[in-house]
Amino acid sequence: MAGKKWLRLVKSLHQKKYRNQHQLFFIEGAKAVSTLIAAGSVPERIFVTPDQESQFSYSQTEIINEQELKKISALQHPNGVLGVFRMPSPKEISPKDWSVALDDVRDPGNLGTIIRLCDWFGIKNIVCSNTTVDCYNPKVLQATMGSIAQVNMVYSDLESYLGSLGLPIYGAVMEGTTVYQTALPASGILLLGNEANGISASLMQKLHAKIAIPQFGRETAESLNVAMATGILLSEIRRR
Amino acid sequence: MAGKKWLRLVKSLHQKKYRNQHQLFFIEGAKAVSTLIAAGSVPERIFVTPDQESQFSYSQTEIINEQELKKISALQHPNGVLGVFRMPSPKEISPKDWSVALDDVRDPGNLGTIIRLCDWFGIKNIVCSNTTVDCYNPKVLQATMGSIAQVNMVYSDLESYLGSLGLPIYGAVMEGTTVYQTALPASGILLLGNEANGISASLMQKLHAKIAIPQFGRETAESLNVAMATGILLSEIRRR
């Protein structure tokens, strides 16, 4: 049976405060845990229910019963595997490729989808404002499907951080010029804003260009969701 | 207070069987209801809580109290407005533009997002296999944000229906050729498949071309979700 100290610790990791204090996070599901391990992350502990035991043969694997797992899981229906990992240290952003920057993206599903998109399109770095939802939030991780291990996540004050990189910043803005006719350099920052309010006024002043996905339907159509806009814009960046 | 007969009727409209029997559906929220009315849909009834009454001045508007609304709403937190509308009759597909076809898309959020994308990109027609989730499912409508009124929805046997249109069918297939280098005609059918299994074998034989969004990251990255793939491919179709 899993030790009480560990169960208490995992439970505390539902909260950002304790994740940061311990520099640990957890992710659930055999596939997501395996993906992180395959990417080089070393698990601190893997808790598995008896029927899942055969899937993992690490020294850190511990058997947990269904009741215990339910207590520490973030899922309504826990799926038998929960891995605890150490947060990687943020790395420096490469000036030779595109990076994504997020200004105050609040929805965990949106951030999870954006991380997964960056994995698909080979974008190695995401810079988030300190107000953006924590990437180790269990709901974000559920939406990443293990892609979190492929992308370097940096949380910072965007104004000073992006300024220090010296790369052109392309902001996704409703009233921007169509991305289809915008020349895009080999490297830069693609900046997306908050779900309701877009990019903050102070960052708008730092933009090299405002780009938009043109609308072909009725003018009052609901705007594209931030994750969808990221997907379409990354496709535009990679197709060139 | 709202009549009991109507309350029973709306409650029955949570089920596809009764929606089809009565040819009615309901949508919730002042904005969504207004969007449908602005698009020319005539509501059969609009139920509003007293605090929302000022927003609607139709003869079909009826006051409902919070308790009654909670009983007939599909939302965990009803938002004060529920409109009942008659289903529009499916129209013929225009052979002069692109249409979207969906083979067995099951997730309501995915279909809702795809309807919203078609509204954005000015795609007027969506043809769904009979196994695709019903577009008047309340969860689909919550995700469409009112776009349902802008798109002609047809449910049919895809094999015979698409065959009868005589338009080239472009299937989104993982192992397809990159869409970035595929010539696209002025009109056609963009076909997307089931979330887990893709396009069914029998429809695969009807494809004019297999197209894919190339992957730039690690080869084992989780594939793009069907709604995300639709967004990126529609952007490709419209940018030409």
CATH number of the domain at A40, please.
3.30.1330.30
Please report which confidence band the pLDDT of residue A60 belongs to, taking 50, 70 and 90 as the band edges: confident
Size of interface A-B (CB pairs under 8 A): 94
In a domain, A174, yes or no: yes
Final residue in a domain of this structure, among A35, A62, A86: A86
Number of domains in chain B: 2
d(CA A127, CA B200): 40
Same domain, B106 and B70: no
Q: How many other CB atoms sit within 10 Å of the CB of residue A142?
A: 17
Angle between helix axes B226-239 and B108-120 (nearest 10 degrees) is 10
Supply the pLDDT for residue B3: 84
Together in a domain, A64 and A16: yes
Residue B93 located in a structural domain:
no
Query: Is residue A58 within 8 Å of residue A8, measured between CB atoms?
Result: no
Examine the domain organization and report whether B105 and B21 are in the same domain. Answer: no
What was the pLDDT predicted at A1? 54
What lies within 8 Å, CB to CB, of B97 at 6+ separation is: B123, B124, B125, B186, B187
Same domain, B141 and B234: yes
Mean pLDDT of chain A: 95
Residues B135 and B174 in one domain: yes
From B182, B231, B181, select the one nearest B208 (Cα to Cα).
Answer: B182
| Residues A9-37: tens digit of each pLDDT | 999 999 999 999 999 999 999 999 999 99
Same structural domain, A18 and A119: no
Facing A121 at nearest CB: one of B113, B119, B217 = B217
Q: Do residue B216 and residue A238 have CB atoms under 8 angstroms apart?
A: yes
Rounded to the nearest 5 degrees, what angle is found at the Cα of A87, between the Cα atoms of A82 and A91?
Answer: 145
Domain, as residue range, for B79:
4-86
Contact A232 B235 (CB under 8 A): yes
Question: Does the pLDDT at position B1 exceed 60?
Answer: no
Q: Are residues B229 and B129 in the same domain?
A: yes
B225 shares a domain with B110: yes
Q: State the pLDDT at residue A94.
A: 84
Mean pLDDT, residues A143-148: 92
Q: Are B153 and B195 in a shared domain?
A: yes
B61 plus B173 within the same structural domain: no
pLDDT band, residue A62 (cuts 50/70/90): very high
Task: Say if the ipTM goes beyond 0.95.
Answer: no
Whether the Cβ atoms of residue A99 and residue A128 lie closer than 8 Å to each other: no
Mean pLDDT of A203-220: 93
Q: Is residue A64 part of a domain?
A: yes
Whether B53 is in a domain gets the answer yes
- Within chain A, residue ranges assigned H as helices are 4-12, 16-22, 30-38, 66-72, 108-120, 138-144, 158-165, 201-204, 226-239
State whether A30 and A120 are in the same domain: no
Last residue of a domain, one of A54, A86, A118: A86
> For B105-153, how does the pLDDT look when each residue is reduced to its tens digit (9 = 90+)?
999 999 999 999 999 999 999 999 999 999 999 999 999 988 999 999 9
Question: Which B residues 131-170 touch A at CB under 8 Å?
Answer: 145-147, 150
A213 at interface of B, judged by CB pairs closer than 8 A? yes
Span B53-81, mean pLDDT?
92
Q: How distant is the Cα of B4 from the closest Cα of chain A, in angstroms? A: 34
Q: Which residues pair with A154 in a beta bridge?
A: A127
Please check whether residue B215 touches A, CB under 8 A. yes
pLDDT at B220: 78
Q: What is the pLDDT of residue A219?
A: 81
Least confident of A142-146, A166-170, B157-161, B177-181: A142-146
